[in-house]
Structure 1
Amino acid sequence: MNYTYIVKCRDGTLYTGWTNNIEKRVRAHNEGRGAKYTKSRRPVELVYMEKFQTKEEAMSREYHIKRMSREEKKRLIAEYEPSLSDNNCDSME
């Protein structure tokens, strides 16, 4: 499975990325190994994700989300109702 995700950084900014292992990627962000942008803005909190069958789909969605305004991203997050158990992410809390 591939994921497009948004994490909220400690300073309130949002970071969008994609991965094939969401738990490992969020952990990497919080350990300072995820992305240069999030390294100085830890901890981060997973606030949005979508699942895709292919890497290309996830990367395309990442591109589209990154082009959204902050307000559009906030609406996307507000409408998101995570069912973490449905997404095999029980340990994300």
Structure 2
Amino acid sequence: MEDFGKVRCKICGGVKSGIYLRSYNLRLCLDCFKLFFEKRVQETIEKFKMFSKSDRVAVAISGGKDSTALAKSLKELRYNVHLFHIDC
């Protein structure tokens, strides 16, 4: 994933601040990237039958970009998310 400043979004067609996803050969604005990422999270949960919307989901959060993005996406997708952090 590379930050390219202004890009022509492959999804909405707008020219906005965005990123290039090399593995997908996609340029996306930040709004469409958020939707793209959340869709991929949802598809992965369903594909591997990880949990359902009624389950309580514990997410270990370090405060870094990866765990924060996952926790935020699960919350946006309306999963029952419970965050925890162990300070050693």
- The answer, yes or no, to whether TM exceeds 0.5 is no
Report the structure number with the largest CA radius of gyration: 2
TM-score (ref. length: structure 2): 0.22
Q: More strand per residue: 1 or 2?
A: 2
TM-score, normalised by the number of residues in structure 1 = 0.21
